[in-house]
Amino acid sequence: MSIKESSSKYSQKNFNDFGLGEKATAGNYRVLNKNGSFNIKKDNVGVLERINFFHVLVSMSWLQFLLIILGTYFCINLLFASLYMLVGIEHLTGIYGTTFLEQFTEAFFFSAQTITTLGYGQVAPIGILTNILAATESMMGLLGFALATGMVYGRFSKPAAKLKYSKFAVIAPYQDINGFMFRVVNPHGNQLLELEASVSLSILRENSELRSFFPLDLERSKVAFLPATWTLVHPITRESPFYQIKPEAFFKRDAEIIIVIKAFDESFSQSVYSRSSYKFNEIKWGEKFTYLISQKDGRVSVDVSGIDNTEPAKLNGEI
């Protein structure tokens, strides 16, 4: 039985094509990366339209951010040290170096003191041109550090639901039928409330490069809290697009399961979102997740490191 024939219930629903459309998603590739980012590249975008410094600086890793801040700080000091040397090192008092390298080094550190408005007092500018340079650098320092402080605050205050998903999804026994399942856990100390999950199947149509999108009904699409783990289950009933579909068909049709989870983060008092996906080769058929919860010292213990652990399980009849 084909997916189309086994999902008349789903064909009457509004498909969530994630703003891409059935033609745009034609072909074999991943729509949504595991980390939640879309696998999309925008070409022929104007330079001015592409520039978004705030988004780039807030979204990049901390290591990249710190390297950019330090690199910018170093380059600005190199620039102004060169300008002081160009104007004339004799216009800076307290310079004791005799070689070019020694004088440039002292000018560099004078620039660092000026841009941070620290000013130890050993070196001071003399003459109108040198004072203009020092005043300009001081103003740049005030504005630059204000912007950097805002970026740091923006990074710390940016809400994000950093959920951990199981590496694989499974097709496992569920009651007297089978179900498509995956697990999520919140490994961080913040509390997430009122979680709501939306799961969809993206799959190529038979004998076509176009895609169809099927929303998947879940055993439980909402939970009030997530203090432990949450196993999301899509029951494979007769109305399910998974019904009587073999693994080979999923491989051939380049199936992808797309997940969106919405939650309320107590720490930020804001709604946060998490996205991920499973491709056909990330689904284990005939396996089930192992149990992660135990009791230790009068408390419930969750082994987060075992979120990916599965074991063989005999399926109930045909899928």
Domain CATH for 54: 1.10.287.70
Residue-wise pLDDT tens digits, 206-218: 777 778 888 999 9
Q: What is the span of the domain harbouring residue 118?
A: 49-157
**In this structure, are 70 and 150 located in the same domain?**
yes
Using the predicted structure, report yes or no on whether residue 47 has a pLDDT greater than 80.
no
Last residue of a domain, one of 136, 157, 178: 157
Q: How far apart are alpha carbons 218 and 229 in whole angstroms?
A: 16
Last residue of a domain, one of 110, 135, 157: 157
Using the predicted structure, report yes or no on whether residue 12 has a pLDDT greater than 60.
no
Question: E strands within the chain?
Answer: 92-93, 124-125, 164-165, 169-174, 177-185, 192-204, 211-216, 222-225, 229-235, 256-265, 270-279, 283-285, 287-289, 293-296, 299-302, 310-312
The DSSP annotation for 22-33 comes to HHHT-SSS-SB-
**In this structure, are 278 and 173 located in the same domain?**
yes
**In this structure, are 153 and 164 located in the same domain?**
no
Note whether residue 319 is domain-resident.
no
> What's the pTM value of the predicted model, to 2 decimals?
0.71
Tell which phi-psi region holds residue 175, choosing left (phi > 0), alpha (psi between -120 and 50) or beta.
left
Residue-wise pLDDT tens digits, 265-287: 887 788 888 999 999 889 999 99
Assess contact for 1 and 244: CB atoms under 8 A: yes
Domain CATH for 281: 2.60.40.1400
Residue-wise pLDDT tens digits, 227-249: 888 999 999 998 888 888 788 88
Note whether residue 1 is domain-resident.
no
Q: How far apart are alpha carbons 158 and 278 in whole angstroms?
A: 26
Using the predicted structure, report yes or no on whether residue 46 has a pLDDT greater than 80.
no
**In this structure, are 54 and 186 located in the same domain?**
no
**In this structure, are 129 and 67 located in the same domain?**
yes
Note whether residue 237 is domain-resident.
yes
Structural domain count of the chain: 2
Q: What is the mean pLDDT of residues 62-91?
A: 93
Assess contact for 140 and 115: CB atoms under 8 A: yes
Confidence grade of residue 23 (pLDDT, cut at 50, 70, 90):
low
**In this structure, are 146 and 169 located in the same domain?**
no
Confidence grade of residue 138 (pLDDT, cut at 50, 70, 90):
very high
Nearest to 214 by CA among 70, 16, 51, 79: 16
**In this structure, are 168 and 296 located in the same domain?**
yes
Last residue of a domain, one of 129, 157, 185: 157
